[in-house]
Amino acid sequence: MSSTPCHASFEFIRVETIESLNIDVAEYRHKETGAMHYHIAADQDENVFLVAFRTVPMDSTGVAHILEHTALCGSERYPVRDPFFMMTRRSLNTFMNAFTSSDWTAYPFASQNSKDFFNLLDVYLDATFFSRLDPLDFAQEGHRVEFEEANNPNSSLVYKGVVLNEMKGAMSSPVSTLWQTVTKHLFPTVTYHFNSGGDPDAITDLSYDDLLAFYRSHYHPSNAVFMTFGNIPADTLQERFEAQALSRFEKLDVHIEVPDEKRYFAPVRVEEAYALTEEDTTGKTHHVMAWLLGHSIDLKEQLKAHLLSRVLLDNSASPLRFALESSDLGAAPSPLCGLEDSNRQMSFMCGLEGSEPDKAMAFENLVLDTLQRVAEEGIPQDMIDAQLHQLELGQREISGDGYPYGLSLIMASISSAIHRGDPIALLNLDPVLEELRQEVKDPDFIPSMIKALLLENSHYVRLTLRPDSDMEKRKELDEKARLEAIHQSLSEAEQQAIIEQTAALEARQLQEDDESILPKVTLQDVPATMHIPESEISQIAAQTVDWFGQGTNGLLYQQVVIDLPELTEDEQRLMPLFSHCMTELGCGERSYQENQQYHVQVSGGIHAYTTVRGATDDEQNVAGYFVISGKALLRNESALTDLLYETLNDARFDEVKRIREIISQSRSRKEQSITGQGHSLAIMAAAAGLSPSGKLAHMTRGLESIKFIKELDKQVSSDEGLSKVSDILKGIHNKLKQAPRRFLLIAEPEQKQALLEALQQRWVDAPSASISPMSLAPTRESVRQLWTTSTQVSFCAKAYPTVPVDHEDAAALTVLGDFLRNGYLHRAIREKGGAYGSGAGQDSGEAVFRFFSYRDPRLGETLEDFDRSIDWLLETEHDPAKLEEAILGVVSSIDKPGSPAGEAKGAYHSALFGRTAEQRQQFRQRILAVTLDDLKTVAKHYLLPENASIAAVTSVEKAQALKDQFEVISL
C-alpha cells in the first residue's frame, strides 16, 4: 500500500493490511526524538491510546512500579493531587489504567467519545512526560515511616505506602512467589532477575532521588512507544502528540534494552521456601522446571514455541499435561505450565503443585522421561493440526469483553515493539501459519524442537518451593527490628521531620484541588440511548432459538441453555464440579483424553456453567440456568452442534479416576485463589445471608466452596466416597437432560439459515418429562465473620440489604456507590489508609449494597471508614458537579462496549432474567435523573448500622485481636 498521511514531525515507514482482522497497521517514527508510533486503523468508534516506556530496573525496590503510581499524581499542566482518579470520574472512558510489566511501563485508555478521548490524551501526555513527582506523593504511593501515634516520637515506627501494601498482598500468593523465584534463577543477570513490582523487603530501600533519576532516564520520547487504535486518523493524533509533548524534547542519547541472558552450561537445581501460616504443610510444595528459549521478537520462532507448548500441555490428551495430571507425585499441574513470550527471551515452564520436597528428582525424571519418549515416538499428526487450528481461531476471533478489542491487539504486540522487533508481524499470523502448515507435515518437526529447545538445552532450572510455617513470623520480626533500629538512630530533628511529613501528607490528602483545570465531559455528552443488539426468535421442535446476526469475523458462537431443575443441597454444592466435569470427561465412546483432543480439532473450546439471579422486582424469587457454550470457525459448524448435543447427552460420569483428579486440581486452584480475589470472596461472604442467589454464590464460588472442596478431596480418597460423588453427578446429569432447554446462535447475518438448519437436524426432540424448576429458600440474615489465611494484608467487606433493580430506589443506590468512592472512600482508605483500593456499589440482582477494600493494611479502621463515609454523605453539603461525576461513572460502565459476540450474549442472558433491552434503557434513564437528595434519602433508609453484615479475609493475628467481636473461621 502507499504511504498514509502523517504529521510533519513524523516520518512514515510502512503500512500493512491484515485482512483477517480487517485493519491497517502503520508504522511511524518521530523525526526529532525517534519515538515510534504504531497506528491500527479500524472502523471502530472505540479509540485506544497507549504510551509505553522501556523500564529495566536492576533491583527489587519497585522503582518502575512506584514511578507508575507517582507519575499519575499531578503534572505540569494539571498540578492537582490526583488527576488520574479525578479523570476516571470526569470521563466516559471505557478503560483507564497503567501497567508495570517486567521490562516496560504502559499508560493506556479507551473511549467511544472523541471529545473525551482527546481530554484523556492531554492528561496522559502531560502526566507521563511532565510529571511533578512530588516527594509527598512518593511517600504516599511508595513508602514512608510514621509513628504509630502521629505526634508521639516515643511510639513505634511503622511502614506505610500504597505500593508497599499492594505488593505485600501480591506476594502473599504462593503462585506469585513461585513465579518470582523461578525467574530469579532462570535469569541470573538481567532485569527479569528482579521483582519489577517490588519486593516488600526491598521497597523501603528506594529513595526519592532514585525515583527521580529513573524517571529522567526512562520517561523520555527517545525511549517511548506510542500505540493507537480506532477511526481517528494517525496524523490527527500525531499533531496532538507533537503539540502537547514531543516538540519540547530533543533526542536523548540513551539506548535502553534488555541484553541476552548469559547461558548456563549445566542445569540449576534449587530449593526455596514460601510463607504459609498453616501448621500442616503436607502436600503444599511446588516443583517447576523452566527452560530459557530464544528471542520473542522472532515471530516464526515464537509461533513454533507456542505450537510446541500447546502440543505438550494444552489439554489432558497432551502428553506432558497427561503425565503431570496422572502422576501421584503431586495434586495438579502447576499454574506456571506453558510458554512465557513477553520477555525478550522466551521461557518454557511446567510443574506440579500439591507435592512434597523429597519428590523433586522424581518430578524432574517424570518430565524428562516424558519429553524423551515424545521425542522418540513423535506426536500424532491430527494433534499438531488441531493446535494449528487453535492458533488460526485465536487470530480471527474479535475479543473485547475484558479489555477493549483495540487494546487487546495492542497488548498482543507491545512486547515486540518494546524490544524493537516487528509488532505488525505479530498481528498478522496468517503468512507464518501457512508456512508452519507445510513444515509440520515432517514427522520430525515436533521431536526435533523438543530435542533442541528442551532436552539438549542446558539452561534450565528446577525449583522446589516448599512451605515454611514460621517464615511470616520471621519476616514480621525482621521488619520490627529494622524499624526499631531506625527509631533508635533518629535524632530529634529527624523525629520532628517524620512528624512534619506525616502532617504535611495528611494536609495534602485533605486539600481541595481546583478540579476546573482538568478537562471533562458532561451529561450533555452522554448518548441518549445505549446500544443493545436484538435477536430474532425461531422455534425448533417447541424449543426457542435466539439468533443474533453480528460481525464475528468468520466465527460461530452457540449455547444450549437449560432451565435449572430442583436440586438437593448436595447437588447444589457439587454444581461447580459438575460444570467443570461436563467438558473435561469423556463423551460417548470417547475417553476424556480422546474427547479433549476432539474439542481442539473442531472448536475453540466448550465450557459449561450455571447462572442464577433474582427477579427484577424480588431478589428472593430466583431463577437459574445451566449453559453449555462453544465457539468454532464456520467450517466446523456441524461438528460444534454435534459436540454440544453429545456433551449434554453422553458425558461420561463413570470416569471416576478422572473425577478424582479434577477434584484434586480444583482444590489446589481454589486454595491459591484466595489472596488474588480476596475482596470478591469477602463481598460474597458478607452478602451470603441477604439473598438466595448470594447464599448460593458463597456456597459454590465463595469462601464456603473452598472449605467444601477440601473436605470433598478427602472424601474421594476412598473408593466409596468417590462412588458416592459420581452417583450424585450422574443424578444431576439425568435431571438436566430432562429439563426444558433453548438455544443461542451468534454469527454473521448471512449464515442464519444454514446454521438454523444444522441445529434443527440435530436437536429434533424437546424433553418430554415434567421437571420442577429450581427454587431456593428466602433468606435475609446478617453475619460478622473473619476468614483467616496466609496473608500480610486484609480484604474487608460490609453489606446492607436493599432493593432489586425495578424498585424506584435502585438507581440512586447505584449512583451512591460511585459517589461514596469518589468523595470519601478513595481518600480515606487508599490515600490515608494505604490500601491498594476500595469502593462501594449496589448489586440489584441480590438487592445488596456493598462496601469493600483490597490489599488493605488495616481491618477495624477500614470498617469504621465505611461508616464514616455514610456520615460524610449525610452531614455535608455536596457540590452538584460531584453527583454528575458519579452518574458519568455509572453510565460509562453501563455503556461499555464488548465484542460483537459478547454484546449479543450479554443482551440474551440479561433478557433471560427480565433485564430486557427496554428495562435496561429505562434503568439507564433513571440513573441520569438521580439527585443529591435521592442519595441522602436511600442512605438514611437502607445503610443502617443494625442491618450491616460484615466479612473479611485477613491474617490469623489480626483476626485474633477482634475475636470477641467476630466469628473467626479458618480457611
2 pLDDT above the threshold of 70: no
In whole angstroms, what is the distance from residue 804 CA to residue 578 CA?
30
In this predicted structure, which of 376-385, 507-516, 563-572, 829-838 has the lowest mean pLDDT?
507-516
103 pLDDT above the threshold of 70: yes
Instruction: List, for residues 849-872, the tens digit of each pLDDT value.
Output: 999 999 999 999 999 999 999 999
125 pLDDT above the threshold of 50: yes
**Number of other CB atoms surrounding residue 51 within 10 Å:** 25
Q: Which residue has the cell 461447580?
A: 576
Contact (CB, 8 A) for 244 and 276: no
Instruction: List, for residues 309-333, the tens digit of each pLDDT value.
Output: 999 999 999 999 999 999 999 999 9
Q: Which CATH superfamily is domain 784-970 in?
A: Metalloenzyme, LuxS/M16 peptidase-like (3.30.830.10)
275 pLDDT above the threshold of 50: yes
The class of domain 544-762 in CATH terms is: alpha beta
Looking at residues 567-596, what average pLDDT do you find?
Answer: 95
Check residue 430 and give its pLDDT.
86
Q: What is the CATH number of domain 268-402+417-468?
A: 3.30.830.10
Break the chain into its structural domains and give their ranges: 10-258+495-517, 268-402+417-468, 544-762, 784-970
Contact (CB, 8 A) for 133 and 81: no
Q: H helices within 338-459, ranges in order? A: 360-377, 381-396, 405-418, 423-427, 430-439, 445-449
Looking at residues 614-619, what average pLDDT do you find?
Answer: 96
Q: Which among 920, 799, 846, 809 has a CA at the least distance from the CA of 619?
A: 846
Cα angle: 848, vertex 853, 855; to 5 degrees: 145
Residue 633 CA to its chain's centroid (Å): 26
Check residue 426 and give its pLDDT.
86
How does the average pLDDT of the chain come out, rounded? 94
Strands (E), 707-802: 741-747, 784-788, 794-801
In whole angstroms, what is the distance from residue 378 CA to residue 308 CA?
12
Check residue 3 and give its pLDDT.
57
DSSP conformation class of 131: B
626 pLDDT above the threshold of 50: yes
Instruction: List, for residues 17-38, the tens digit of each pLDDT value.
Output: 998 888 999 999 999 999 999 9
Q: Which helix (H) or strand (E) holds 611?
A: strand 606-614
Cα angle: 322, vertex 324, 328; to 5 degrees: 115
475 pLDDT above the threshold of 50: yes
Residue 940 CA to its chain's centroid (Å): 35
In whole angstroms, what is the distance from residue 256 CA to residue 234 CA?
26
364 pLDDT above the threshold of 60: yes
**Which CATH architecture describes the domain 10-258+495-517?**
2-Layer Sandwich (3.30)
